[in-house]
Amino acid sequence: MQKLTNKEEEIMQILWKLKKAFVKDILEEISEDKPHYNTLSTIVRNLEEKGYVGYTAYGKTHQYYPLVTIEEYRKKYMNTAISNYFNNSYKNLVSFFAEEEKISAEELREILELIDKKK
């Protein structure tokens, strides 16, 4: 699974949300920095070449759909991020968010409860 560019990830987020979409549908979902239709079409074709997107042809028009689930992508790249930025330590990851005040003590308690339930 190849790493996606930021713009490709943005397009995949839209496709995961819509499930199926024509390029015009994807373009409608982009709120900031709308690319030109042809540019967006090229990005979607790149996603197809990378194996992230499939399509159904309707004449010359294509309706695109994700081939990779958001869960598969998240698992692959979260593991990579934890490895690259947190020394393969989930403790370091959680500590980072606690120090940045992105996670509360209540949320940490909820996480501990989830862990206890899994045991």
Q: Model confidence over 57-102: pLDDT tens digits?
A: 999 999 999 999 999 998 888 888 888 889 988 888 888 888 888 8
Per the structure block, which two tokens stand in for 65?
């759909």
How many Å apart are CA 100 and CA 108, to the nearest integer?
A: 14
Against a cut of 0.85, is the pTM above it? no
Instruction: Note down the domain range covering 53.
Output: 6-66
* 79 shares its domain with 53: no
In a domain, 1, yes or no: no
* 84 shares its domain with 98: yes
How many Å apart are CA 63 and CA 60, to the nearest integer?
A: 10
* 46 shares its domain with 84: no
Q: How many domains does the chain have?
A: 2
